[in-house]
């Protein structure tokens, strides 16, 4: 399961129990260096929410009682996903969070998926480290365009990866980004671009991955 392989399990996390005080939680945050950590119940099985260092600092600077339970400043109590959630649900659920809590099939706290880990996975799927060029191909989003583009490119080379960028509502174009494998040189690239243009596709952007890695 893709998502499960990306999750950092709770056994490797810094967490606080729901019965600790704000003062105790702040010390854990300061010692760990994290700006946010999960709050769990006394058994460690139930995810209660997150506690942010900045919220405790703000509370303390305003003369707030630091002996209050950490749940006083609990955030993101409903921000969690299932370990078998669909990728697109994961992508949009995490949004502005540093991480999102992950629950197992019994709704117990399983671990967290961080923004960084998700971006690393996307980077790997793009194959930028083993590619030569990334070409952006634009079409009018007609049925069969992707298949036609791929057929043109594979006359000259294999395709390392492909990403489809959804258009904005009302746009009449669709952008497909193809990563070409490392053995593709400039001459072969030029032939691919010309072949795509003969099929009435535009190639407005070409990124040279080799020069990026120099």
The upper half-sphere exposure of residue 117, i.e. CA atoms within 13 Å in the direction of its Cβ, equals 18
At 31-83, the pLDDT tens digits run 999 999 999 999 999 999 999 999 999 999 999 999 999 999 999 999 999 99
Using a 10 angstrom Cβ sphere, with 0-12 exposed, 13-18 middle and 19 or more buried, the burial of residue 86 is: exposed
Contact partners, residue 174, CB within 8 Å, separation at least 6: 138, 139, 140, 141, 145, 164, 165, 166, 167
How far is 102 from 91, CA to CA, in rounded Å?
A: 13
Does the CA dihedral 61-63-66-72 come out positive or negative? Answer: negative
- Reported as a pLDDT band with limits 50, 70 and 90, residue 214 is very low
The residue among 143 and 159 whose pLDDT is bigger is 159
According to CATH, where is 3.10.580.10 located in the chain?
Answer: 2-120
Average pLDDT, the chain: 89
At 178-211, the pLDDT tens digits run 999 999 999 999 999 999 999 999 999 999 987 7
- Just give the CATH number of 2-120: 3.10.580.10
| Nearest alpha-carbon partner for 128 in 137, 120, 117, 118 | 120
- Just give the CATH number of 127-212: 3.30.70.260
According to CATH, where is 3.30.70.260 located in the chain?
Answer: 127-212
| Nearest alpha-carbon partner for 87 in 113, 48, 58 | 113
* Residue 213 clears pLDDT 70, i.e. is over it: no
Name the pTM for this structure. Answer: 0.69
């Amino acid at each position: 399961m893709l998502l499960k392989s990306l999750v950092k399990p709770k056994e490797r996390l810094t967490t606080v129990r729901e019965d600790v005080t704000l003062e105790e939680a702040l010390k854990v945050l300061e010692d760990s260096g994290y700006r946010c950590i999960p709050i769990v119940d006394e058994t460690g099985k139930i995810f209660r929410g997150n506690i942010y260092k900045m919220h405790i600092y703000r509370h303390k600077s305003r003369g707030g009682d630091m002996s209050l339970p950490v749940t006083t400043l609990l955030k993101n109590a409903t921000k969690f996903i299932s370990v078998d959630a669909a990728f697109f649900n994961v992508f949009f659920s995490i949004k502005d969070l540093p991480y999102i809590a992950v629950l197992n099939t019994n709704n117990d706290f399983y671990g967290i998926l961080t923004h960084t880990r998700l971006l690393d996975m996307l980077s790997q799927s793009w194959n930028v480290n083993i590619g030569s060029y990334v070409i952006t191909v634009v079409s009018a989003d007609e049925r069969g365009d992707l298949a036609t583009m791929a057929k043109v490119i594979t006359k000259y080379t294999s395709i390392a990866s492909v990403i489809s960028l959804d258009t904005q509502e009302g746009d009449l174009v669709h952008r497909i980004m193809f990563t070409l494998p490392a053995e593709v040189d400039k001459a072969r690239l030029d032939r691919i671009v010309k072949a795509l243009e003969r099929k009435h596709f535009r190639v407005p952007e070409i990124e040279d991955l080799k020069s990026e890695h120099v």
